[in-house]
A and B are shown apart, each in its own frame.
Chain A
Amino acid sequence: DGGITQSPKYLFRKEGQNVTLSCEQNLNHDAMYWYRQDPGQGLRLIYYSQIVNDFQKGDIAEGYSVSREKKESFPLTVTSAQKNPTAFYLCASRVRGSSYNEQFFGPGTRLTVL
């Protein structure tokens, strides 16, 4: 079945460590996105990529980094520079070309900093 997978589902990190969250899609979508969700808040855009080898900062990119070496993969690294990284992270993808197209979401990764 086509879809988006994120791993791991739960992740624990010590302060000062970098950690990478995986996102893979087999929907043949060009565009991919990373969102952060905090309790009682909506989703905030961290980074997005419309094509391979290109990506743009979203609204809250500080302390995060991404790469897009393959169409199917868009990993997110949470660096030690991110002051408050504990959150629920959602990856999404969609067909590129128009804001008309809905985004499809993965199951999410819950990151906790100890």
Chain B
Amino acid sequence: AQKVTQAQTEISVVEKEDVTLDCVYETRDTTYYLFWYKQPPSGELVFLIRRNSFDEQNEISGRYSWNFQKSTSSFNFTITASQVVDSAVYFCALSEESYNTDKLIFGTGTRLQVFP
């Protein structure tokens, strides 16, 4: 069955700390896609990154980096030198290609609070 687990409900850090948000997924498919979205207090979900199941290369974008490991079915997200503006709820999501269900399966989200 498809499932996305974000075990960390809430994380609090002080500015400039590094923080890692965990995401573990379950899928029956060999071709799938993983996503991270950010939901700031305004409510709108903002797309951050997509990763294909056949591409295990890690990705870095500024202070953000993502570690995809198929062996552990994880797609973790690290924010380096966190800032107050990073405070938001972060969602990990999964979609499967071959079943073409046109669905995104979301985790329950991790609320990140960055204090000055």
A-side residues, CB < 8 A to B, are 31, 40-45, 48, 50, 56, 58, 88, 90, 92, 98-100, 102-108, 110
Which listed residue (A40, A41, A92, A108) contacts B43, Cβ 8 A?
A: A108
In Å, the complex CA distance between A71 and B108 comes to 30
Chain B stretch 92-116: residues in CB contact (< 8 A) with chain A: 95-97, 100-104, 106-109
Stretch with Cβ within 8 A of A (4 or more), from B14-22, B44-52, B63-71, B72-80: B44-52
Q: A100-B50, A103-B104, A105-B37 are in contact. List 4 more A-B contacts (CB 8 A).
A: A42-B91, A99-B32, A105-B44, A107-B42
Q: Assuming the A-B contacts A31-B102, A43-B106, A50-B102, are A104 and B47 also in contact, with contact meaning beta carbons closer than 8 angstroms in the complex?
A: yes
- For A42, list chain B residues within 8 Å (CB): 4, 91, 106-109
In Å, the complex CA distance between A100 and B107 comes to 18
